[in-house]
Amino acid sequence: MDAAEWAAVPVGIDAQRWRTVCTSRTVLVVVHTVVSAQRLLDVVGLVESDPRVQVLYTCAPDVFGAGVQRVLAEAGAFEIPWVRAVRERFDLVVAAAHGGLERLHGPLVVLPHGAAYGKRSAAGGPVYGLDAARLVKDGRVLPSVLVLSHERQREVLADQCPEALSAALVAGDPCYDRMLASAHLRERYRRALGVRRDRRLVLVASTWGAGSLVEKEFSLYARLLRELDPRRYRVAATVHPAVWSGHGLRQVRSWLGHSVARGLLLVEPERDWRPLVIAADQVIADHGSTGVYAAATGIPVLTTGSPAERLDPASPQALLAGSAPRWDAARSAESQFHQADPQLGAAVAERLTSRPRGAHRVLRERLYELLELRIEGRHRKPEPIEVPDRPAEWRRHA
């Protein structure tokens, strides 16, 4: 153990001796992946600005954990090592994944790390995140609060892990709420991306693993750049952080290097993908969360297909996969671009959250209840998503 692992401040039995601000509560944010980091940073601000609260972060072990420390360092987070985190007690622990949570000490809040709970752990298996294998350890329900985005998820939980029902909190989707709060910044996002008013922005969005766009349609990036007139279109790509983590930053950049050289805007995993969705005129997506959020915010979506047996039939992912226009490689790309179907977008949004625009208020109230602190001040609306200062911030290593 080095000195940093056992630093005396801001956590530990002697911490109050060294603190300047005499906080009374300590919150641990458990970050497994870049995806979960982005989710958690949406929520932790609900308590982080309170001078009674000290927030610490730790990188939890995960097969796709690469990049987490870069994200936390850029955010200015005070990080403590995992080996230290499992030896301390906290007033609140917040996570958006499941690995190692049974080793932590303190009331635990678990958030979803994607759009709703849409995917199954295996073909025909339980819905991931609402199953006993992840919520129960040695007969003990791990979360004090399990955050759901929709009332319908209670039914899945009741079927898969009824002992966790008492922990369920239907709070809505804070990620989606921030996107709604950012819609008025669309033109500013487009300027930051370098997209002129007379161009249409086409976003290609891929999740990771079998059945993903990257796995099935890797040639799509190059095809769009060949086929679409650069005077009228700009093509951008978001690739799930698990792909970057699983194959390496340099490798993914190399695989897409020729496309980047021809004008592809490749957004790296630490960048916030949501302004890109809001700025888009057309999205081509697989069964990942990005397509769901795009449809729910009214952006036209073409889907490249999905492994139906890996989706919860009641999820927004399944609705989008079954109802959105399907990408057809035999047709020209431009002929397949459609106007948004308001009815489909509204239906996807209805499956995504049953508390639209309400997540931050519900979560703030429950977090303060767990901290046993009185809420001071008025509830704030969700903060709009930041606009980068320079276009280069979207693609730092093109």
| Angle (CA) 99 352 128, round 5° | 25
Contact between 266 and 237 (Cβ < 8 Å): yes
Mean pLDDT of 11-21: 71
How far is residue 301's CA from residue 291's CA, in Å, rounded to a whole number? 7
| Spatial contact of 146 and 164, defined as CB atoms under 8 Å apart | yes
121, amino acid identity: S
Question: What does the pLDDT look like over 283-296, one tens digit per residue?
Answer: 999 999 999 999 99
Q: Exposed, middle or buried, 341 (CB in 10 Å: 0-12/13-18/19+)?
A: middle
- Residue in 295, 235, 291, 244 with CA at minimum distance from that of residue 268: 244
Query: Distance (Å, rounded) from C-alpha 98 to C-alpha 116?
Result: 16
In angstroms, rounded to a whole number, what is the distance separating the alpha carbons of residues 172 and 184?
Answer: 21
DSSP letter for each residue of 199-256: -EEEEEEE--STT-HHHH-TTHHHHHHHHS-TTTEEEEEEE-HHHHHHH-HHHHHHHT
Q: Looking at per-residue confidence, does 5 or 104 come out higher?
A: 104
Asked if 135 contacts 141 with a C-beta cutoff of 8 angstroms, the reply is yes
Given a cut of 50, whether residue 392 has pLDDT beyond it is: no
> Could you tell me which of 54, 57, 58 has the C-alpha nearest to residue 26?
54
pLDDT of residue 339: 79
pLDDT value of residue 9: 67
- All structural domains of the chain: 3-176+355-371 (3.40.50), 182-354 (3.40.50.2000)
Q: What is the pLDDT of residues 191-230, one digit of tens each?
A: 999 999 999 999 999 999 989 999 999 999 999 999 999 9
Alpha-carbon gap, residue 139 to 161, rounded angstroms:
12
The DSSP symbol for 93 reads E
Per-residue pLDDT tens over the stretch 262-310: 999 999 999 999 999 999 999 999 999 999 999 999 999 999 988 888 8
Res 195: pLDDT: 94
What gap in Å lies between CA 195 and CA 233, rounded to an integer? Answer: 9
